[in-house]
Amino acid sequence: MATHIEGRKMFLAGEWVEGERWIDVTDPQDGTLIDRVPAATKEDMEACIEAAKSGAETSARMPVVERMHIIGKAAEYIVTNSEQYARIIAKESSKTIREARKEVGRAVETLRLSAEEARRITGETIPFDQSPGGIGKVGYYRRFPLGIIGAITPFNDPLNLVAHKVGPAIASGNAIIVKPATVTPLSALLMAQAFAHAGLPEKILSVITGRGGEIGDVLVEHPAVRMISFTGGVETGLAITKKAGLKKVGMELGSNSPVIVLQDADLDDAAASCVSGAFWAAGQNCLGVQRVYIEENVYDTFKTQFIERTERYIVGDKQSEITDMGPLITEKEAKRVEALVEEALAKGATLEIGGERDGAFYSPTVLTDVPEGCALATEEIFGPVVLLYRVAGLDKAIEQANAVDYGLQAGIFTKNLDHAHRAIEELEVGGVMINDSSDFRIDAMPFGGVKQSGLGREGVKFAIQEMTDTKVICFKLG
C-alpha cells in the first residue's frame, strides 16, 4: 500500500501556501518518498517579489533590538527541535545523522552570530577638512540595507547555508527570498518555520520551492531584487551573472581544493584530517580535499596511512549512528563521479582503493598517477574521490596547487614557519589552513574564493557588508 503524503506548504511572504503542482522529495539512499512540496510558478515568484517590497520597508524600520530578538528566538526554536531538524537533513540529503546534527549546531551558531552582528553595523566619522573644500564641514558614513535579497541555496548544506543567507539579511534590515535546491527543500522550510515561530513580520522572509528553470530567472532578473546570493556550480553562476543586470552578486562556486603535506609534518594528523576532509558528506563539499601533494620523502608512508584510514570508513545507512558516509544526492551524480574515475583510469591513473558504485552510493576512492589531461585533475569532483601526488618539495606543490581555475581554500601540513608563510603568500586561494586540511571553516570567518571559486565573501559579518550599501552624510556648518 502506497504511503499517503499530504505535502508541505511553501512560505510565501509570511504565509504557508499550497501549489497546484507538486515536487516529490525522495531519500537518495533508497528512493523512498519523504514528502512533497509545491512546484511554484512564475506568477508565485512575481507575487513574492511584490510582497517583499513592503517587507523590505518593514525590515529596514525594525529596531536592531527587535531584529536581534527575533533571530535569537529562531535559533532557540531550532535548538529545541534539533533532532527533528537533523533527521530531516539526514533523510533528504546525503548526510549521515551524525553529520546532520553537526550541521544543525552550525546553523544555530550562524543565527546567533547574525543576532550579535546586528548591533555592530556601524559607520565612521569622516574628517572632511583634510581637503581645502571640506573646511567647515563635518560628517560620517552609515550602512543601509539594500532592500530585497534573492538567495539560491544548494543541497549539500541544506540548513546552514540557508542560515548564512537569511541570518545576515534580516540582521541588516533586508527582506529575503530563498529558492532552495529542488532536491532538499524541507530543511529550508524548517528554517522558515523557526522564523515564523519567532514572530518575524510578514513579507520579510519567503522560502519558495520549485524548479530553477521555472522560477529562478524571475528572481535573478527582477529589478526590485537588489542582490543575488548564490551557492552552487560554476556554470549556473556564470549564467546568473549574465542575467542579473545591475545589482550586487555574491557567489560561492566551489573548488577542487589542494592540501600540501611536507616531510616535517605530523603524518598521522595529516592523514586523519585529509581523509575526513575528502569524504565528509560523501565528498559533496566545496571545501573538500581533492588533491593532496606529498613531499617525496614521506609519500609512501603518508599514502599507506591514508589508505588504511579510508579502508576503515563505514559506508551505509545514513540514519545509523556508526555510519561515516552515505550516498551521493542522486544516482545520476554517482554515475557522473563513476565516469570521471573511469576516464582517469583509462588514461593511466592507478586505483588504490574504492571505485565501486551501488546505486547512489560510491565508495571512498583514492587515485594516484592521475594524468594532467583528466577532468579529475582540474575540475571539481564533488564526490568521494581524492588524488594523491608525489612532489619534490614546496615549490612544485604550490605550482601544481595553483595550476587550476579554482581557488577557494587550501591546507598545508608543516612545522616550518617559513614554509607556512610562503604558502600563505603564494597559494591562490581565499583561505590557507596551516596544519589542517582545506575542509575547515567557522561560520564567523570571511569565506569565499578567487578565480572561478566565486565573488565576494560570506561569513556573517562579511555577508552583512555585502548586503548593505554605504551612505555618506555631510553637514556644512554655519
pLDDT, tens digit (0-9, with 9 covering 90-100), for 374-414: 999 999 999 999 999 999 999 999 999 999 999 999 999 99
Known catalytic residue: 286? yes
From the candidates 252, 295, 352, 466, which is the catalytic residue?
Answer: 252
Q: Which of these is catalytic: 286, 295, 338, 374?
A: 286
Strand boundaries in 39-187, DSSP class E: 124-126, 137-145, 148-152, 175-179
Range list of β-strands (E), 135-211:
137-145, 148-152, 175-179, 205-207
- DSSP label at 93? S
Q: What is the pTM of this model?
A: 0.96
- For residues 153 and 160, give the distance between their C-alpha atoms in angstroms, rounded to a whole number: 10
List, in order of start, the domains of the chain with CATH numbers. 10-253+454-473 (3.40.605.10), 257-442 (3.40.309.10)
Question: What confidence tens digit (pLDDT) does each residue in 14-44 have?
Answer: 999 998 999 999 999 999 999 999 999 999 9
CA nearest 408: which of 447, 462, 436? 447
48 carries an active-site annotation: no
**Which amino acid is it at 292?**
V
| Confidence (pLDDT) at 3 | 44
How far is residue 228's CA from residue 258's CA, in Å, rounded to a whole number?
28
Question: What per-residue confidence (pLDDT) applies to 6?
Answer: 58
Distance CA 380, CA 234 (A): 10
Report the C-alpha dihedral over residues 62, 52, 458, 92, rounded to 10 degrees: 120
Q: State the residue for C-alpha cell 582503493.
A: 353
d(CA 430, CA 422): 15
Give the three cell numbers for residue 244. 542579473
- pLDDT at 145 (0 to 100): 98
Contacts of 478 (CB under 8 A, 6+ apart): none
* Residue 338: strand, helix, or coil: helix
Give the model's pLDDT for residue 256. Answer: 96
CB 186 within 8 Å of CB 37:
yes
Q: Evaluate whether 242 touches 447 at the Cβ level (below 8 Å).
A: no
Tally of CB atoms within 10 A around 69: 16
Distance CA 244, CA 246 (A): 7
Alpha helix ranges (H) inside 403-443: 417-426
Query: Which segments in the chain show pLDDT lower than 50?
Result: 1-4
Beta strands in 43-187 (DSSP E): 124-126, 137-145, 148-152, 175-179
State the cell numbers at 88: 530531516
- Name the CA radius of gyration of the chain, rounded: 23
- pLDDT of 27: 97
